[in-house]
Chains A and B, each alone.
Chain A
Amino acid sequence: MYDLRLWLSKKGSLKYVSHLDMFRLMQRAVRRAGIPLWYTEGFNPHPYISFLLALSLGIEGEGEPVDLRIVGEMTPEEVRERLNAVLPRGLSVVAAAPPQDKPAAIAFGRYDVYLDPAQISGAELQDVLAGGGLTCQKSGKSGHKKIMKTVDVSAQLREWQIEEKDGSLLLHVVLPAGSTVNLNPLQLLEAVSEKRGAPVYACSAVRTALLKADGKEFR
C-alpha cells in the first residue's frame, strides 16, 4: 500500500465540472480502470481519493493534485496509463508520483488569464492593478447565516505580469490559494471591472501551478 499523487490536466468544457462532481467522476474512473484503491473502513466504505484544492468553476487546470491510496503493487506509471485510457475528453493524468509536500503547504496559485484587448488595454490593466483599492464581493457565512463579504483584493495581489502579443492580452498572476485564504482570477477581474466601471471578462483562465509559501512549486 502506498500513497500516490496524480497531477490532472482539466481542459476545455471540463472546466464547468465542479469540485464535488470531479470527486464522483474520479471514483468511477478508478473503478473502470481497475485500480486497486484502499477503502475507508467506516460504516459506509468508500475509496480514498482526495482532491487537494478546489478549482473554481470556469477555470482550467494544468496540474491539479489528487491523492490516491493504492493497495498492492501497481506502479505509478501503470496507474497513469490505465486512467488516461478511461477518462473523458478534456481530462488526463499528466504525472503520477509519490507526494513530496503536505497538502497544507499549498499557499498560492499561479494563473494565466487571457483577456480581450478590445475590452481593456495592457496599460490600463497595469494602472488599475497597481493603483490599489481593489475590492470584490464574496459569499461567506456568519454563524449559519449566508452573507456577502467585501474582500480587499489589492492586499492579496503581489505578483503579476502583463504580456501583449499578436493582438492578445495575457495576464500572469499569483493569487493566494489554500485552506485559509483563497482568491481566484475571476474574482480579481470582478474587482477590476468594479474599479474602472466597465466589465472585463476572461476569454479563458488557467491555473498553471500551485506554489508553497516560499514561492517554490508544490510537489
Chain B
Amino acid sequence: MDKKLERILPRVQKPARYIGGELNSVVKDKEKIGLRYAFCFPDSYEIGMSHLGIKILYAIANSREDTWCERVFAPWPDMEEQMRQNGILLYGLESGDPIRDFDMIGFTLQYELCYTNVLNMLDLAGLPVFAKDRTALSPIVMGGGPCVCNPEPIAPFFDLFSLGDGEEVNNELMDLYLEHKKRGSDKQAFLADAAKIPGVYVPSLYNVSYHADGTVGAVTPAGGAPETVTKRVVRDLDKVAYPESFVVPFIDVVHDRVTHEIFRGCIRGCRFCQACFLNRPIREKSPETINEQCKVLCRNTGYDEISLCSLSSSDYSRIEELLNLLLDWTPQEKINVALPSLRVDNFSDELLQKLKKVRRSGLTFAPEAGTQRLRDVINKNVTEEEMLKTANIAFSGGYCAVKLYFMLGLPTETDEDVEGIGLLAKKVVDAFYTNPDRPAGRGVQVSISASSFVPKPFTPFQWEPQATAEELQEKQQHLKETLPSRKISVSFHDIETSCLEGVFARGDRRLADVIYRAWKQGCTFDSWGDFFKYDVWMRCFADAGLDPAFYANRRRAFSEVLPWDHLNYGVSRRYLEREAQKAMRAETTPNCKQGCAGCGANKLNGGHCDV
C-alpha cells in the first residue's frame, strides 16, 4: 500500500472503505491491459457496494482480457480532507493507481442529488470538471443509470452518456475506444464515432437554443449525430452475461447479500413511477437460469441470503415455480430467500406460506395515496379491500408490524386525500384487532412513511408542477394533526432535498452552472441530511440568475419542447400525454397483463414483451 495512504488511514472513519482487496475483487497484470476502466459510484462505499448494476458491469468488463475495471466510491468528507492535505489523488480500489491515468471513467447516476459528488470525484482525481477542458483522448468520462434519461443539467461535465441497459453497449464503446487508441486519434474523432453507436448520447454534439421565456426552443444535432438517441435494451436476460461472483465487502454495507434481478420493467404503469417507464419492455429471466445463477453466487461468496429483486416481484409470471426451485436447496444450506416489492393484490396465501419458510421480516405496503380517487389518478390499482385482505392474511400468519408508504404532493391532492392516509392506516390497525387469528398477546404497529412526490421525465406526470416547499410543509403538518390512532407512527422525507431533486430531474443544460457553483462552495453528499446546504444552493441559483420554481413548480404545456425530448426510452410521448389526460379524469389504465395500453416500448424489442 502507498506510504502516504498508510499514514492517513488510521485517522479516518472506517478505513476498510479505502483498502480494496475484498474477496473476489479482480486484480490483473497492468502490463497486459489495453484499457483501464474506473467504475465510479458517486456516493459512499456502503451505498455503492449495494448496487447491483455495478456488480454486473464490473464482471462484464473484467471478463475481457484487454480490460481491467476497478471500483471507485466517493471518499467520505474526513477522507477527502486527508487526501487533499496529503496530495493523494483519487485511486481505483483494486490497483491503488490514480484514475486520472485511466482510459475510461464511468459514473452510474442513480439519483439527482449525487451530482456534486461527480464533480468532486473528478476534482479529487486531478481532472478538470468540465468536459471541454479535458482535451486528451483519455480519460473519457461517461455516465449511465436512470438519471441519464435527462442528463442535461450535468451534460457539460460528461463526454458521453449511455442510455438504457449497459451490458452490451459498454463492450461496443470499449472496442471502439481501443481502436481509436491504437490509431492515436483524438477525443473529437472518438466521440463522433461513439455517437453512431445506438444508445450513446454525446451532449457536446447537440446545440440547445432557448425561447425568451426560458423554455427550450430546439435541440439540434451536429457532426452526423442522430436527431434522437434511443436507449439500449437487452433482449434476452437468459443469455446476457451475469456475474458468477460478487465482490464481498469487509464492512457492513446496505445490501450485503446475493441480489438477483428476476425481470426488467414493470406491467403496472403507476403514473408517478419513473422506473416503470424507463425499464420497459418487460423481459423475464427463466426460473432455471435464476436458480442456477443463485447457486453459483452463493457458493462463490458465502452469502447466506438471496434477495430476488425487480420492480414488483409478485408480477413475475413463474414466481411459484422459482420459489420451489430455490426452496429445494436453500433451507438445508441455511440460506434465506427474501422477496421484496410484493404487490398487495396478488399476494396469495400460498405465497405467504412459502415465504414463512424463510426468515420473517416486516411487511411493507405501498398504497402511495390515501383515497381511492387519488390512487386512481396515479393509477396505483390497489383497493382498500385488497389491502386489508392482505393485511389480514399477514396478521393470521404472525406478522404484527406493517409499514405503509405514501407520497404527499401528488397531482390533484386535496386535504381529504391527506386525511385519508391516517384513516387507511387506522383501518389496518382495526383489522389487526378484529382478526381472531392474530398473534396472541401482541400489539400492532403501523408506521407510515410519507415522501414528497417529485415529477420525473418519461412519466405521465412530466408536465405537472411539483408542490412547493410551503405546500409540502402544510401537508405534512395536516397529516400529523389528523392521525387517528396512537398505534400509528409517521415519518417524513426531508422537503428541501425533494425540492432540489425536482429541479434537476426536469432541468436543462443551464443548471450546470448552478451545480458547479454549489460544488465550488463546498456542497457534496447532498443526499445526506448532515451535509445538505439548502441555503447555499438557493444562493447559487440566484447567482446564476436561474429560478428553481421555473423548473420544479411550473405546469408545462404538451406543446413545450422538453429538455429530454431528443432522447427516446421506448414509451411514446403520445402515450404519456394520453395517460396524463386520463389521470386528470381519475381514470385508470389496466396493467399490461390485462391488456396492452400501447406504450410503444415493445418496438425496442422487436415488438415483443414478456407479459
Contacts and interface: CB of A to CB of B under 8 A. Distances in A.
Contact of A21 (B7, B250, B300, B359): B250
A28 B21 contact: no
Contacts of A89: 21
Contacts of B9: 16, 58
B15 A57 contact: yes
Nearest to A13: B19
B19 A32 contact: no
A45 B331 CA distance: 12
Contacts of A28: 23, 248, 301-304
A31 B305 CA distance: 12
Interface of A is mostly: helix
A48 interface: no
B334 A88 contact: no
A16 B19 contact: yes
Contacts of B1: 12-13
A45 B302 contact: no
Interface in B1-36: 1, 7, 9-10, 15-16, 19-23
Contacts of A24: 252
Contacts, number: 63
A55 to B, nearest CB: 14
Contacts of B251: 17-18, 21
B144 to A, nearest CB: 29
Contacts of A31: 298, 302-304
Nearest to B3: A203
Interface string A149-179: 0000000000000000000000000000000
Given A21-B250, A39-B334, A32 B21 contact: no
A90 interface: yes
Interface string B546-571: 00000000000000000000000000
Contacts of A39: 334
Given A21-B252, A201-B7, A88 B22 contact: yes
A120 B135 CA distance: 48
A186 B11 CA distance: 12
A58 B302 contact: no
Nearest to B302: A28
A29 B302 contact: yes
A46 B359 CA distance: 13
A193 interface: no
Interface in B230-280: 248, 250-252
Given A13-B1, A32-B301, A18 B16 contact: yes
Interface string A14-51: 10111011001101111110000001000011000000
Contacts of B301: 28, 32
A17 B1 CA distance: 15
A25 B250 contact: yes
Contacts of A58: 9-10, 15
Nearest to B25: A88
A17 B250 contact: yes
Contacts of A186: 10
B12 to A, nearest CB: 10
A122 to B, nearest CB: 22
A16 B300 contact: no
B539 interface: no
A209 to B, nearest CB: 23
Contacts of B19: 13, 16
B16 A17 contact: yes
A192 to B, nearest CB: 16
B16 to A, nearest CB: 5
B348 to A, nearest CB: 26
A16 B19 CA distance: 8
B84 interface: no
A196 B250 CA distance: 37
A157 B487 CA distance: 56
A44 B361 CA distance: 12
Given A28-B304, A57-B15, A58-B15, 18 more contacts: A13-B1, A13-B20, A13-B21, A16-B250, A17-B16, A17-B250, A21-B16, A21-B252, A25-B250, A27-B304, A28-B302, A30-B302, A31-B303, A39-B334, A57-B10, A86-B23, A88-B22, A201-B10
12 contacts: A12-B21, A14-B21, A16-B15, A20-B252, A21-B16, A28-B303, A28-B304, A31-B298, A32-B301, A57-B15, A89-B21, A201-B10
Interface of A: 12-14, 16-18, 20-21, 24-25, 27-32, 39, 44-45, 57-58, 86-90, 186, 201
The 10 A-B pairs of least Cβ separation, nearest first, read: A28-B302, A13-B19, A31-B302, A32-B302, A16-B15, A17-B250, A88-B23, A16-B16, A58-B10, A17-B16
